[in-house]
Amino acid sequence: MSDDPALWSTSRQAQAIRTGEISSRELLELYINRIESINGELNAVVTRDFAAARIQADAADKALAAGESSGPLHGIPVTIKDALEVRGMRSTGGAVELSNHIPDQDAPVVAAVRGAGANIIGKTNLPRWSADIQAYNEIFGQTGNPWNLERVPGGSSGGAAAAVAAGLSSFEIGTDIGGSIRFPAAFCGVFGHKPSFGLVPSSGYLDHAAGGTTEADVNVIGPIARSAEDLELLLTILLRQEEPWKIDLESPSGQLNSLRVGTWLNDDFCPVDDIVLERTTAAAAALKTAGFNLVGDRKPAIDPSEASSLAMALVSAAMLQSGEDPGYTHRAWLEHHQAREAMREAWASLFEDIDILLMPVSFVPPFTHIHEGDFSSRTLLCNGETRAYADLVKWTMLVGMAYLPSTVPPIGLGSNGLPVGIQVVGKYGADLTTIRFAGALAELMGGYQPPPIALAAS
């Protein structure tokens, strides 16, 4: 663990505040100093309210001195992805239409962490309407990858993951409809969890000009952090609370090394870059060497190309309000949904035979910023071959459209010196299993490592 409290896990910071090792105000000032020192070049934190944060930190310290605590996140300074509504703070969704939008209420997930004691100090960058695997828009410009500013941090929660990796926030809350938690976690070298669909409320999400009031198919909201322990703590706080919901997540049965682990690390439907494949293969090998129960290559009984096309149709339908109307009908969605349910049954059958499936996040490592063109016209290089930019979401959408949980731990740096992540996928509702397994895997592979820009600010 780093000597800099700003780079500690949220759980470690919360313990330090409770025991008086550090005050909320002291931790806040560390983050403010770091933001003022390195955010100018990183451009992850795009809206700030340090004056209100200082008042909140002092109130938290005063309450603790009186023996009062507001919850497990008491006094913890955090930023929030700019796609989520924060009461009294500019919240834009990365779109000029909402440049001056100041909500009068928190998104439910924001209210949850605020209610647990978190101190919200600012907002982080993203692409317009969260619709890209980068983090740039007309209002705030582009966010760099904290490991190499010429590369993207992933998207759409790119500013969020960059802020966590660089030590500008204790943790973050991301959104994920096509990989928007998983890409940034993998590209920035932090932990991210895409919950099972429906476990966490997703209203208060700004994906179109009148957004925030409804919840979209496939889209989920989940935590980004510097440890798996933090993911579990935060997921517990974020879980849907309104009546009649009562969610009791299933803990893994037995030891983690007894879980049956399948691998699906490459496939002709979306071949993976050698740099990525080397790291994911090394992760699987490390598990086997450590005595984990690897059962070999496995995948659901689906056509992945067909499933990927279906996923794109479902996600596109969920994002219609921020794009052009192609005349998509509700009946068309119902037919796609029926096909999706058949594929979900195939996934469920797979998870009768295994407990964990390891999969790639991205077919390429973090790439250089691309502002020209759009999602459908851009290209990327993979092993010397020109590939469609839209191939980026093939591996993530297979999991997302099936509503499954996926935890992404850091598994070290590739030969290019940039982070690589891996999807730890489980059956629907097995969120604690994927998080705890991801923690064990990360421990074998070195866990969170502060990027150079983070150490420069320490």
Model pTM? 0.98
Asked if the model's pLDDT at residue 166 lies above 60, the reply is yes
How many other β-carbons are positioned within 10 Å of the β-carbon of residue 131?
A: 22
Q: Which CATH architecture has domain 5-456?
A: Alpha-Beta Complex (3.90)
Average pLDDT over the chain, rounded to whole?
96
The three-point CA angle 186-44-163 to 5° equals: 55
DSSP string, 381-438: EETTEEEEGGGGGHHHHHHHTTT--EEE-EEEE-TTS-EEE-EEE-STT-HHHHHHHH
Which secondary-structure segment (H or E) carries 362?
A: none
| Region 448-455 average pLDDT | 97
Extract the runs of DSSP E, i.e. beta strands, from 209-264.
Answer: 220-225, 260-263
Contact 167, 134 (CB under 8 A): no
Question: Known catalytic residue: 180?
Answer: yes
Question: Known catalytic residue: 81?
Answer: yes
What CA–CA distance (Å, rounded) separates 13 from 11? 5
Predicted pLDDT at 211: 87
Encoding tokens for residue 190? 């932090």
The three-point CA angle 47-53-59 to 5° equals: 165
Nearest to 206 by CA among 314, 108, 110, 95: 95
| Per-residue burial over 286-295, b = 16 or more CB atoms within 10 Å of its CB, e = otherwise | bbeeeebbbe
Beta bridge partners of 220: 176
Asked if the model's pLDDT at residue 80 lies above 90, the reply is yes
The catalytic residue among 11, 23, 170, 180 is 180
The three-point CA angle 259-392-144 to 5° equals: 100
CA dihedral of 344, 348, 351, 353, whole degrees rounded to 10: -130
What CA–CA distance (Å, rounded) separates 305 from 443? 33
Peptide bond into 11 cis (omega under 30): no
Contacts of 20 (CB under 8 A, 6+ apart): none
What CA–CA distance (Å, rounded) separates 221 from 177? 9
349-401 residue pLDDT tens: 999 999 999 999 999 999 999 999 999 999 999 999 999 999 999 999 999 99
Encoding tokens for residue 32? 């403010």
Predicted pLDDT at 322: 75
Contact 46, 97 (CB under 8 A): no
3-class DSSP state of 368: strand
Distances (CA, A) of 99 to 80, 81, 139: 16, 15, 7
Asked if the model's pLDDT at residue 1 lies above 70, the reply is no
Handedness of CA 434, 435, 440, 441 (dihedral sign): positive
What CA–CA distance (Å, rounded) separates 314 from 334? 10
231-284 residue pLDDT tens: 999 999 999 987 787 788 888 888 999 999 999 999 999 999 999 999 999 999
| Region 180-194 average pLDDT | 98
Distances (CA, A) of 56 to 15, 77, 114, 209: 18, 10, 11, 31
200-220 residue pLDDT tens: 999 999 999 988 899 999 999
Q: Are strands 220-225 and 406-408 parallel, antiparallel or unpaired?
A: unpaired
Task: Give the DSSP letter of residue 206.
Answer: -
Asked if the model's pLDDT at residue 221 lies above 60, the reply is yes
The catalytic residue among 156, 169, 170, 202 is 156
Phi then psi for residue 350, to 5 deg, are: -60, -45
Predicted pLDDT at 277: 98
82-100 residue pLDDT tens: 999 999 999 999 999 999 9
DSSP string, 334-359: HHHHHHHHHHHHHHHHHHHH-SEEEE
What CA–CA distance (Å, rounded) separates 383 from 394? 17
Encoding tokens for residue 374? 């759009």
Asked if the model's pLDDT at residue 2 lies above 80, the reply is no
121-156 residue pLDDT tens: 999 999 999 999 999 999 999 999 999 999 999 999
Asked if the model's pLDDT at residue 305 lies above 70, the reply is yes
22-66 residue pLDDT tens: 999 999 999 999 999 999 999 999 999 999 999 999 999 999 999
Contact 235, 433 (CB under 8 A): no
Confidence of residue 327 (pLDDT cuts 50, 70, 90): confident
Domain boundaries, the chain: 5-456
Contact 27, 13 (CB under 8 A): yes
Task: Give the DSSP letter of residue 34.
Answer: H
Place of tokens 């500008």: 168
What CA–CA distance (Å, rounded) separates 133 from 12? 31
The catalytic residue among 11, 24, 81, 170 is 81
